[in-house]
Amino acid sequence: ISFPWPFVQWVQNVLDGTAESERIVYNDPDPEVGFVLAPSLRWDGKDVNQLYLTAICRRQNLKSLRDLRAEHLPMLQNIFTKSTVTIEERYGVPVNRLCIFFHYQPTYYHLHIHFTHLREATAGTSVGRAHLYADVVDNLRSDSDYYAKRTMYFSLRNNDPLLHELLGEEKQTTTKQDE
């Protein structure tokens, strides 16, 4: 399925520093393992019990969990280490109070990792959508192609463009078969 995603240009602008540069709390410019860490628009930036940051990787070829292989473990470790240190130094939240996860399906197709306070962890960590960082790393260590091969079940919200795209194709297929 291919259709435009409005966040893709926004993500590129954040990575290039032409958008939201004042919101970036950490910037690693390395093209292989680098990333940008910024507060999510879901967080007011004040109450650390509601902390929500997103790390967006610099690699353009990584769109979602499906693209991750064992060769990306150094990048994932770099993002984890530098983000958790930055979060503790800046906001006083230690790693053992963080929930770190990926979404599948993601909101936008450029690999990013969510960092939330455990008290805020219910926002976006539902079964069928969130994949914990530690599980992703373990799976890639066990099998480099784990996410390329795995059947991944996921839920979609009623207003999700992917759901509408899937339903539209399903209706077209049904209509053609009925003719």
pLDDT at residue 83 is higher than 90: yes
Predicted local distance difference test score (pLDDT) of residue 156: 64
Looking at residue 89, which CATH number applies to its domain?
3.30.428.10
Contact (Cβ atoms closer than 8 angstroms) between residue 147 and residue 68: yes
User: How many structural domains does the chain have?
Assistant: 1
* Domain hosting residue 77, numbered range: 7-178
- Comparison of pLDDT for 111 and 165, the residue scoring more: 111
Predicted local distance difference test score (pLDDT) of residue 137: 98
Within a domain: 1: no
Give the whole-number percent of the chain exceeding pLDDT 70: 79
**CA of 172: how far to CAs of 106, 158, 161, in Å?**
25, 19, 16
Report field, pTM of the whole predicted structure over 0.95: no
Within a domain: 70: yes
- Round the average pLDDT of the chain to a whole number and report it: 84
Within a domain: 165: yes
Active site residues: 112
